[in-house]
Each structure stands twice: as C-alpha cells, then as structure tokens.
Amino acid sequence: DYLIPSIVADLFQPQTVTYNGGVANIKQWKISCYLEVMESGIPCTNPHEGLKSHCRELLDTCNNLFASWYRQQHACNDKTTSSYKVDEEGNPIVSRLMTFITRYTPAPDENALLKHVDGAGKVDGSVVVALPIDRWTASEEENSFEGHGGGLTFWDGRTKRSANGTRGPEEIVYDTRSGDIAFIDRAVWHQANPITRGTRWALVIFYKVER
C-alpha cells in the first residue's frame, strides 16, 4: 500500500502511444505510464524515471519471482533450458524489456485490454501485478475488486472440445485480487477483462531471459 498514494496523486502520468496495427484493436493506448521501454524507444521515448525509482523495490521482487517461476515452468518441457544463463542459485538471469503501470476505468477504451499476446510474441514472458485497491481517489467500496468485473482470461494452448463438438484452446478465467501476480509464458493469448465500476491499477513487466 505504501507505493500507491504517490502513484495516484502525482507520479502516474499516462502517455499516449500508437502501436502499429493497434494493441487488442486499440490504435492509440492512453491509460499507461511507462517506466521502462524497449530499444529504439518502443512504444515511447520518454519513460518516467521518477516512477521507476519509486517502484524499484517492487520491480526487483518481480525479477526474482519471475526467474524462479520460469525455471520451474521450463524445467521439464523446455529443451533449451541449458542454453540460458543462470545465477548462483540456478535461476535464469532475466532483464526487463518494458515496464508500465495501467489505470483501468469503466470509460470506453479504458476498461479492458482485450485478447492479445504480449510484445507480439517477442518476449520470453511477462508478469501482471494487481496493485492494491485505490482508496485515495474514491471509497474502497467504489474501487473494490468485488462484483465489478476485471480479472484475467487466458487461452491455453491445449485444445478442448466444446458442446458443439468443435475444438479450441481452453479458456481459463482468474478472478484476481489486490496483490495477486500472474506469470505469463511466451506467446500466450490473454486479456485484462472489462471492469464496470471504479478504478483498477496494474503493473506489467515484459521479460527477456538471457541466453
């Protein structure tokens, strides 16, 4: 909670960015503030250094959690495991490619980020952190996670037979809460589900595994 008051009061400054072809069919994305960006200034050239500094401890924690998760996730089914660089504990050495905080509201084009793949499939994985309930811009009841949509949906690569006999990826819905963290593997389709009330905040990090 100690991070949030300064973020919502003055540090969060949404930047308008334009993605080629759009992201989840949105040409201009206007509800995120970028702490770190990819090489060549993608998606913007002016990351917010103050916000990055404010969140540094959280970012370092996410690095450690993602590295540990990636090692476990790929221990049995990744033939390239031996090709990535490891630290003294045997966890992969990871680096953040892009980091941003997003503020969701019920307004059109601000209430969700529909079905997409992070980094157009060019990242090794990502994390989404549901930041604490915003008790500073409205009441806790107004911004509660309860009963107003939100959460994450994933489309698993395994096929599942539907009621009409067709096969398609299994759809998995997570009803996220304050402080939850989701680990997303490379090129997994997912979305931030629409909210209908209040304000939600999320931290998103795209990762590269050093090889």
Report the distance separating Cα 19 and Cα 35, nearest Å: 17
Exposure of 48 by Cβ count < 10 A (0-12 exposed, 13-18 middle, 19+ buried)?
A: buried
Residue 103 burial class via C-beta count within 10 angstroms: exposed 0-12, middle 13-18, buried 19 and up: buried
| Digit-coded pLDDT (tens) for 1-12 | 889 999 999 999
> In terms of Cα–Cα distance, which of 144, 123, 132, 122 is closest to 181?
132
**What is the rounded distance in angstroms from the CA atom of residue 7 to the CA atom of residue 23?**
24
Mean pLDDT within 119-128 = 89
* pLDDT value at 78 more than 60: no
Question: Which pLDDT band, with edges at 50, 70 and 90, does 77 fall under?
Answer: low
Res 21: pLDDT: 54
pLDDT for residue 99? 97
Give pLDDT, residue 80: 52
Q: Is the pLDDT higher at 80 or at 198? A: 198
Sign of CA dihedral 121, 209, 69, 81: positive
Q: Which residue is listed with tokens 């402080």?
A: 179
SS (H, E, C) 83-101: HCCECCCCCECEEEEEEEE
3-state secondary structure of 192: strand
In this predicted structure, what is the pLDDT of residue 10? 93
Question: Are the beta carbons of 128 and 204 closer than 8 angstroms?
Answer: yes
pLDDT digits (tens, 9 = 90+) for 29-47: 899 999 999 987 888 889 9
Q: What CA–CA distances, in Å, run from 98 to 88, 89, 198, 204?
A: 25, 25, 26, 8
Give the tens place of pLDDT for each residue, 136-194: 989 988 988 888 899 999 997 767 666 777 777 889 999 999 999 999 999 999 999 99
Q: Considering the chain, what is the average pLDDT of its residues? A: 89
Banded pLDDT at 24 (limits 50, 70, 90)? low
For 180, residues 6+ apart whose C-beta sits below 8 A from its C-beta are 129, 130, 174
Would the pLDDT of 79 be above 60? no
* The two structure tokens encoding residue 120: 């157009």
Res 82 pLDDT > 90: no
CB 70 within 8 A of CB 92: yes
